Amino acid sequence: GGETAKLVADLADATNWRAYDVSEKGFISFGWRPTERVLSGPGDFRPWDWHLASDEERLVYFLAAGSGQESFAGDPRDYYRLERHVKRSGDGPPYVVSWNGSMFTYFFSHCWIDYRSYGVDDPQAFDVEQTPVDWVENSRRATLTHRRQCQRAQGKFASFSTDRWGLAPCMGVNGEGRLGYLVQAVRPSVMDADQWDGGTIAPYAAGAALMFTPQESMAALHAFRALSTAEGLPLAFRDPAGGGYGMADSFNLDFGVACDDNVAIDVGPFLLGMENSRTGLVWKLFMRHPVAQRAVGRLRWRPWID
């Protein structure tokens, strides 16, 4: 409420989503970049666009559909035009995969959008030939498949075990022990490649997935919390009582290290996913916002009836 609510409303009303609809296929550009690092100066739109039905994409098109300025709003049909690539791992269940199979790409939009309340969507209502999807079930399948893929790699990387799993963008060490920004990839995915980066685990991946796999995710968090250094100190946990932020951004048992960087876009989904799993608070607050209400109506979502 208060000033924060006003700032959010002003930002939402001022966002011209149609201005970013510049790609050849009619999708929204990744962004606009100023030529001389001056926001009010000249610049250009990035040549890439949001076109896959995963991570940020669905959230971006949901917000665009819900704009309060009709001349700025995105076409709700574009939400359903996002590409849905269905794959499976072995005899596992099929689901819509993301570009690289990272856990981040299956929980990010769920941090805000309460897909539980609407069930299977209906692209055909907009004359779009795409597979109807229950996005909660889709992310549950993706999470369990991701977990199995990590378990199968136990012999390659010491970090993995039955309860230790979860790859997502993070700061950490790669397979050569060098610290940097890691973006792993795990099949099945659109890019169809595995990129383990030394098996470095990002605890927030399993933590945010509490929304879909509470039992498996909680077991993972307990396993991360139990890790210790040779001196008997917690390896991957930083006690908030001492100024820590809980779980480390990542850890790698082959090198016996954890990364203490506290990255907002990592810690944030962890906290939001955890709270949604506990109380659904973030879903309740977000879904009652006028932007979300308009998006639900324009996308023709119908309440789930159990």
pLDDT surpasses 90 at 154: yes
Helix residue ranges per DSSP H, 155-256: 203-208, 214-226
Place of tokens 């926001």: 39
Dump pLDDT digits (tens) for 17-75: 999 998 889 999 999 899 888 878 899 999 899 999 998 999 999 999 999 999 999 99
**Residue 244 domain-assigned (yes or no):** yes
**Residue 114 domain-assigned (yes or no):** yes
**Residue 128 domain-assigned (yes or no):** yes
Place of tokens 């510049």: 22
For residue 69, the domain's CATH number is 1.50.10.140
**Residue 4 domain-assigned (yes or no):** no
**Residue 99 domain-assigned (yes or no):** yes
**Residue 305 domain-assigned (yes or no):** no
Place of tokens 């996005």: 135
Dump pLDDT digits (tens) for 267-295: 999 999 999 999 999 999 999 999 999 99
Please state, in angstroms and rounded to a whole number, the distance separating the CA atoms of residues 289 and 266.
24
pLDDT surpasses 70 at 97: yes
Give residue 306's pLDDT.
62
Please state, in angstroms and rounded to a whole number, the distance separating the CA atoms of residues 65 and 48.
20
Domain that holds residue 278: 15-298
**Residue 39 domain-assigned (yes or no):** yes
Cis peptide preceding 42, ω within 30 of 0? no
Question: Average pLDDT, whole number, for the chain?
Answer: 96
Other beta carbons within 10 angstroms of residue 303's beta carbon come to 8
Asked if 110 and 273 touch (Cβ cutoff 8 Å), the reply is: yes
Total domain count, the chain = 1
Across 165-188, average pLDDT: 97
Please state, in angstroms and rounded to a whole number, the distance separating the CA atoms of residues 105 and 98.
6
**Residue 304 domain-assigned (yes or no):** no
Q: Number of C-alpha atoms within 13 angstroms, CB side, residue 51?
A: 12
**Nearest by Cα to 62 from 295, 297, 303:** 295
> pTM value?
0.95
pLDDT level of residue 233 (50, 70, 90 thresholds): very high
